Amino acid sequence: MLKVNNIDVYYGNIHALKDVSLEVNEGEIVTLIGANGAGKSTLLKTLSGLLKPKSGHILYQTQQIVGKPAQTIVKSGISHVPEGRRVFSNMSVEENLELGAFLRKDRENIKKDLDYVYELFPILDERRKQLSGTLSGGEQQMLAMGRALMARPKLLLMDEPSMGLAPLIVKKIFEIIQTVNKEGTTVLLVEQNANMALSIADRAYVLETGKIVLSGSAKELQESDKVKEAYLGGA
Protein backbone atom coordinates (compact mmCIF):
# COMPACT_ATOMS: atom_id res chain seq x y z
CA MET A 1 0.00 0.00 0.00
CA LEU A 2 2.84 2.40 0.90
CA LYS A 3 6.40 2.22 -0.33
CA VAL A 4 9.00 4.73 0.82
CA ASN A 5 12.20 4.62 -1.23
CA ASN A 6 15.42 6.27 -0.07
CA ILE A 7 14.01 9.57 1.15
CA ASP A 8 16.19 12.36 2.54
CA VAL A 9 14.54 15.18 4.47
CA TYR A 10 16.19 18.33 5.77
CA TYR A 11 15.20 21.07 8.21
CA GLY A 12 17.43 23.85 6.90
CA ASN A 13 20.92 22.36 7.22
CA ILE A 14 19.84 19.56 9.54
CA HIS A 15 19.66 16.19 7.80
CA ALA A 16 16.58 14.79 9.62
CA LEU A 17 15.91 11.62 7.56
CA LYS A 18 18.76 9.80 5.86
CA ASP A 19 18.05 7.43 2.99
CA VAL A 20 14.93 6.01 4.68
CA SER A 21 13.06 3.14 3.01
CA LEU A 22 10.11 1.21 4.39
CA GLU A 23 6.86 -0.35 3.29
CA VAL A 24 3.39 -0.90 4.67
CA ASN A 25 1.16 -3.61 3.23
CA GLU A 26 -2.60 -3.40 3.13
CA GLY A 27 -4.24 -4.54 6.38
CA GLU A 28 -1.10 -4.35 8.51
CA ILE A 29 -0.24 -2.46 11.65
CA VAL A 30 3.36 -1.35 11.18
CA THR A 31 5.11 0.46 14.00
CA LEU A 32 8.09 2.78 13.96
CA ILE A 33 9.96 2.99 17.24
CA GLY A 34 12.89 5.15 18.25
CA ALA A 35 14.07 7.70 20.78
CA ASN A 36 12.94 11.31 20.89
CA GLY A 37 14.41 13.27 17.99
CA ALA A 38 15.07 10.15 15.87
CA GLY A 39 12.94 11.53 13.01
CA LYS A 40 9.71 9.59 13.53
CA SER A 41 7.35 12.60 13.42
CA THR A 42 9.33 14.03 10.50
CA LEU A 43 8.64 10.85 8.54
CA LEU A 44 4.87 11.03 9.16
CA LYS A 45 4.79 14.74 8.22
CA THR A 46 6.61 13.87 5.00
CA LEU A 47 4.14 11.09 4.19
CA SER A 48 1.19 13.42 4.70
CA GLY A 49 2.63 16.17 2.50
CA LEU A 50 3.54 18.66 5.25
CA LEU A 51 7.24 18.28 4.45
CA LYS A 52 8.90 17.61 1.12
CA PRO A 53 11.85 15.22 0.82
CA LYS A 54 14.97 16.49 -0.93
CA SER A 55 15.33 13.14 -2.69
CA GLY A 56 13.61 9.75 -2.91
CA HIS A 57 10.10 8.54 -3.71
CA ILE A 58 6.92 7.86 -1.77
CA LEU A 59 4.46 5.56 -3.56
CA TYR A 60 0.96 5.19 -2.19
CA GLN A 61 -1.07 2.52 -4.01
CA THR A 62 1.65 2.71 -6.71
CA GLN A 63 1.10 6.49 -7.23
CA GLN A 64 3.93 8.93 -6.52
CA ILE A 65 2.76 11.38 -3.84
CA VAL A 66 5.90 13.47 -3.29
CA GLY A 67 5.06 17.10 -4.06
CA LYS A 68 1.30 16.62 -3.80
CA PRO A 69 -0.51 19.04 -1.46
CA ALA A 70 -1.59 17.67 1.92
CA GLN A 71 -5.31 17.93 1.10
CA THR A 72 -4.83 15.81 -2.05
CA ILE A 73 -3.06 13.17 0.04
CA VAL A 74 -5.95 13.16 2.56
CA LYS A 75 -8.42 12.82 -0.30
CA SER A 76 -6.48 9.84 -1.68
CA GLY A 77 -6.97 7.99 1.63
CA ILE A 78 -4.18 8.91 4.08
CA SER A 79 -5.15 10.52 7.43
CA HIS A 80 -2.69 11.79 10.03
CA VAL A 81 -3.32 11.87 13.79
CA PRO A 82 -0.65 14.37 14.82
CA GLU A 83 1.56 14.32 17.89
CA GLY A 84 0.03 16.39 20.68
CA ARG A 85 -3.56 15.85 19.41
CA ARG A 86 -3.92 19.33 17.81
CA VAL A 87 -7.67 19.56 18.30
CA PHE A 88 -9.39 22.88 17.56
CA SER A 89 -9.88 23.86 21.19
CA ASN A 90 -12.43 26.67 20.67
CA MET A 91 -14.71 24.39 18.65
CA SER A 92 -17.03 21.68 19.93
CA VAL A 93 -16.31 17.96 19.74
CA GLU A 94 -18.88 17.58 16.95
CA GLU A 95 -17.43 20.51 14.95
CA ASN A 96 -13.94 18.96 15.19
CA LEU A 97 -15.30 15.67 13.89
CA GLU A 98 -17.18 17.37 11.04
CA LEU A 99 -13.95 19.12 10.03
CA GLY A 100 -12.41 15.68 9.56
CA ALA A 101 -14.93 15.15 6.73
CA PHE A 102 -14.27 18.58 5.20
CA LEU A 103 -13.20 17.21 1.80
CA ARG A 104 -16.16 14.83 1.51
CA LYS A 105 -19.47 15.51 -0.21
CA ASP A 106 -21.39 12.31 0.69
CA ARG A 107 -23.58 13.79 3.45
CA GLU A 108 -25.43 10.56 4.23
CA ASN A 109 -22.24 8.57 4.77
CA ILE A 110 -20.73 11.39 6.84
CA LYS A 111 -23.66 11.02 9.24
CA LYS A 112 -23.06 7.23 9.38
CA ASP A 113 -19.36 7.77 10.06
CA LEU A 114 -20.18 10.26 12.83
CA ASP A 115 -22.37 7.59 14.44
CA TYR A 116 -19.53 5.07 14.01
CA VAL A 117 -17.04 7.39 15.76
CA TYR A 118 -19.50 7.92 18.63
CA GLU A 119 -19.89 4.14 18.88
CA LEU A 120 -16.09 3.70 19.04
CA PHE A 121 -15.71 6.53 21.56
CA PRO A 122 -18.92 6.78 23.66
CA ILE A 123 -17.35 9.54 25.78
CA LEU A 124 -17.25 11.79 22.69
CA ASP A 125 -20.96 11.22 22.17
CA GLU A 126 -21.56 12.43 25.74
CA ARG A 127 -19.34 15.46 25.11
CA ARG A 128 -20.44 16.29 21.55
CA LYS A 129 -21.44 19.91 22.35
CA GLN A 130 -18.52 20.55 24.70
CA LEU A 131 -15.57 22.74 23.64
CA SER A 132 -12.74 20.35 22.80
CA GLY A 133 -10.21 22.48 24.72
CA THR A 134 -11.97 21.48 27.94
CA LEU A 135 -11.53 17.72 27.35
CA SER A 136 -8.94 15.62 29.20
CA GLY A 137 -5.80 14.53 27.36
CA GLY A 138 -7.23 11.05 26.74
CA GLU A 139 -10.50 12.46 25.41
CA GLN A 140 -8.59 14.82 23.11
CA GLN A 141 -6.59 11.84 21.79
CA MET A 142 -9.85 10.00 21.06
CA LEU A 143 -11.17 13.12 19.33
CA ALA A 144 -8.03 13.43 17.19
CA MET A 145 -8.43 9.77 16.15
CA GLY A 146 -12.15 10.21 15.49
CA ARG A 147 -11.49 13.32 13.40
CA ALA A 148 -8.94 11.43 11.27
CA LEU A 149 -11.40 8.54 10.79
CA MET A 150 -14.05 10.97 9.50
CA ALA A 151 -11.96 11.30 6.33
CA ARG A 152 -12.52 7.55 5.72
CA PRO A 153 -8.79 6.76 5.49
CA LYS A 154 -7.41 3.60 3.98
CA LEU A 155 -4.11 4.33 5.77
CA LEU A 156 -4.03 5.91 9.23
CA LEU A 157 -0.78 7.58 10.37
CA MET A 158 -0.63 7.82 14.16
CA ASP A 159 1.98 9.90 15.96
CA GLU A 160 2.62 9.07 19.63
CA PRO A 161 -0.99 8.30 20.63
CA SER A 162 0.02 7.26 24.16
CA MET A 163 2.02 10.38 25.00
CA GLY A 164 1.20 11.82 28.41
CA LEU A 165 -1.76 9.52 29.02
CA ALA A 166 -2.58 7.31 32.02
CA PRO A 167 -1.95 3.55 31.51
CA LEU A 168 -5.67 2.66 31.48
CA ILE A 169 -6.38 5.23 28.75
CA VAL A 170 -3.36 4.01 26.77
CA LYS A 171 -4.74 0.45 26.91
CA LYS A 172 -8.11 1.71 25.61
CA ILE A 173 -6.50 3.71 22.78
CA PHE A 174 -4.48 0.68 21.66
CA GLU A 175 -7.57 -1.54 21.73
CA ILE A 176 -9.32 0.95 19.45
CA ILE A 177 -6.34 1.01 17.07
CA GLN A 178 -6.69 -2.78 16.79
CA THR A 179 -10.46 -2.53 16.25
CA VAL A 180 -10.07 0.07 13.49
CA ASN A 181 -7.40 -2.12 11.87
CA LYS A 182 -9.58 -5.26 12.02
CA GLU A 183 -12.35 -3.28 10.32
CA GLY A 184 -10.10 -2.59 7.34
CA THR A 185 -7.87 0.43 8.01
CA THR A 186 -4.12 -0.04 7.61
CA VAL A 187 -2.07 1.66 10.37
CA LEU A 188 1.42 3.13 10.53
CA LEU A 189 2.07 3.81 14.20
CA VAL A 190 4.85 5.99 15.61
CA GLU A 191 5.21 5.27 19.30
CA GLN A 192 7.72 5.72 22.12
CA ASN A 193 5.98 3.05 24.20
CA ALA A 194 7.77 0.29 22.32
CA ASN A 195 6.31 -2.52 24.44
CA MET A 196 2.72 -1.54 23.63
CA ALA A 197 3.45 -0.80 19.98
CA LEU A 198 5.20 -4.12 19.35
CA SER A 199 2.45 -6.03 21.16
CA ILE A 200 -0.16 -5.00 18.54
CA ALA A 201 1.98 -4.59 15.40
CA ASP A 202 2.63 -7.05 12.58
CA ARG A 203 5.98 -5.57 11.63
CA ALA A 204 8.29 -2.88 12.98
CA TYR A 205 11.14 -0.55 12.08
CA VAL A 206 13.64 1.09 14.43
CA LEU A 207 14.71 4.63 13.57
CA GLU A 208 17.88 6.07 15.09
CA THR A 209 19.18 9.56 14.27
CA GLY A 210 17.26 9.64 11.00
CA LYS A 211 18.22 6.15 9.77
CA ILE A 212 16.39 2.82 9.80
CA VAL A 213 18.73 0.56 11.77
CA LEU A 214 16.53 -2.52 12.26
CA SER A 215 13.39 -4.01 10.78
CA GLY A 216 11.49 -7.26 11.04
CA SER A 217 8.36 -8.83 12.43
CA ALA A 218 7.17 -7.26 15.69
CA LYS A 219 7.93 -10.56 17.44
CA GLU A 220 11.54 -10.59 16.13
CA LEU A 221 12.10 -7.06 17.36
CA GLN A 222 10.56 -7.82 20.76
CA GLU A 223 13.09 -10.63 21.12
CA SER A 224 16.09 -8.64 19.81
CA ASP A 225 18.67 -7.92 22.53
CA LYS A 226 19.44 -4.55 20.98
CA VAL A 227 15.77 -3.51 21.08
CA LYS A 228 15.29 -4.89 24.60
CA GLU A 229 18.27 -2.95 25.86
CA ALA A 230 17.45 0.34 24.13
CA TYR A 231 13.64 0.43 24.21
CA LEU A 232 12.13 -2.28 26.37
CA GLY A 233 13.80 -1.57 29.70
CA GLY A 234 16.70 -4.01 29.69
CA ALA A 235 17.48 -7.45 28.28
Q: Which domains does the chain have, with CATH numbers?
A: 2-90+155-231 (3.40.50.300)
Predicted model pTM: 0.90
In this predicted model, what pLDDT tens digit does every residue of 29-78 receive, in sequence order?
999 998 888 899 999 999 999 999 999 999 999 999 999 999 899 989 99
Res. 235 pLDDT band, cuts 50 70 90: very low
Please name the residues in contact with 234: beta carbons below 8 A apart, sequence gap of 6 or more.
228
Q: Read off the pLDDT of residues 181-230 as tens digits, 9 standing for 90 and up.
A: 999 999 999 988 898 999 999 999 999 999 999 999 999 999 888 888 88
pLDDT digits over 140-155, tens only?
988 998 999 998 899 9
On the CB side of 128, CA atoms within 13 Å amount to 12
What stretch of H or E contains 7? strand 2-11
Residue (of 12, 39, 60) closest to 212 by Cα position: 39
